[in-house]
């Protein structure tokens, strides 16, 4: 059974640029959630995708957007990067939305200069 | 809105001893789920233990057990026979139990646990 994978592991961008982060869910999981974790803080929920549809969103601006593909992998896109977007971005997959346990990937560390 | 509070930023324990990490939460829901996740320096978030609010029995997983006090909205994690590999940041997390709604996790700020040899 393959776990949750994310790419890239590290990324450096400059303010105003756009970035795409990728996540492959665990085998058999149809739900993907994205979280932003600032240094020394707990993760904050960005949004969740279930069967290719957005299924809930946290308090993040519209320049944070996402996609889920038919194979349930997912992308997180961030436009017009700001310095405060520097963080660890975590992807988690689960079997469904009904309180199934979420399993996390290793994360992508984004640095915005 | 649900909140999760972890008031201890850091704790230290001697190898082989027992340590308890505290967590409180606030919610108006009656049905929900609570989790402890571990994040070692490698940064991958690993599930330690899960508790369903409707279950009175405290969850246990090998050396890890919880003390779930629903009325007090308290959810502490006890680690017995601490090992060097337990050194990590530990997060308490909450998920509300509404069928069909998104199962987003609300995390506390975390506690850094150091196990001394």
B102 and A56: CB-CB below 8 Å? yes
Provide the token pair at A111.
């640095």
B103 and A107: CB-CB below 8 Å? no
> With contact defined as beta carbons under 8 Å apart, do B89 and B39 qualify?
yes
Alpha helix (H) residue ranges in A1-113 = none
pLDDT in tens, B53-83: 988 899 999 999 999 999 999 999 999 999 9
Q: CA-CA distance, B41 to A50, in Å (whole number)?
A: 30
A102 and B105: CB-CB below 8 Å? yes
Cα dist from B10 to A22, A109, B46, B66, B100, whole Å = 33, 24, 19, 19, 37
Provide the token pair at B59.
């969850």
Q: How confident is the model at residue B97 (pLDDT cuts 50, 70, 90)?
A: low
């Amino acid at each position: 059974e393959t776990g949750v994978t994310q790419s890239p592991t590290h990324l450096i961008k400059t303010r105003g640029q756009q970035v795409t982060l990728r996540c492959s869910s665990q085998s058999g999981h149809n739900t993907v959630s994205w979280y932003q974790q600032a240094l020394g803080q707990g993760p904050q929920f960005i949004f969740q995708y279930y069967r290719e549809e957005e299924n809930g969103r946290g308090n993040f601006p519209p320049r944070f957007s996402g996609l889920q593909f038919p194979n349930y992998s997912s992308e997180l896109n961030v436009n017009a990067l700001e310095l405060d977007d520097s963080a660890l971005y975590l992807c988690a997959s689960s079997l469904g939305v009904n309180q199934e346990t979420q399993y996390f990937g290793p994360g992508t560390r984004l640095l915005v200069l | 809105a649900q909140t999760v509070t972890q008031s201890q930023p850091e704790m230290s324990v001697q190898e082989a001893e027992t340590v308890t990490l505290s967590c409180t939460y606030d919610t108006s829901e009656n049905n929900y789920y609570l989790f402890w996740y571990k994040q070692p320096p490698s940064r991958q978030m690993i599930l330690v233990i899960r508790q369903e609010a409707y279950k009175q029995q405290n969850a246990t997983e090998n050396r890890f057990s919880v003390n779930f006090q629903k009325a007090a909205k308290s959810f502490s994690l006890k680690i017995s026979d601490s090992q060097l590999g337990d050194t990590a940041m530990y997060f308490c997390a909450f998920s509300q139990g509404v069928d069909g709604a998104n199962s987003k996790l609300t995390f506390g700020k975390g506690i850094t646990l150091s196990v001394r040899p």
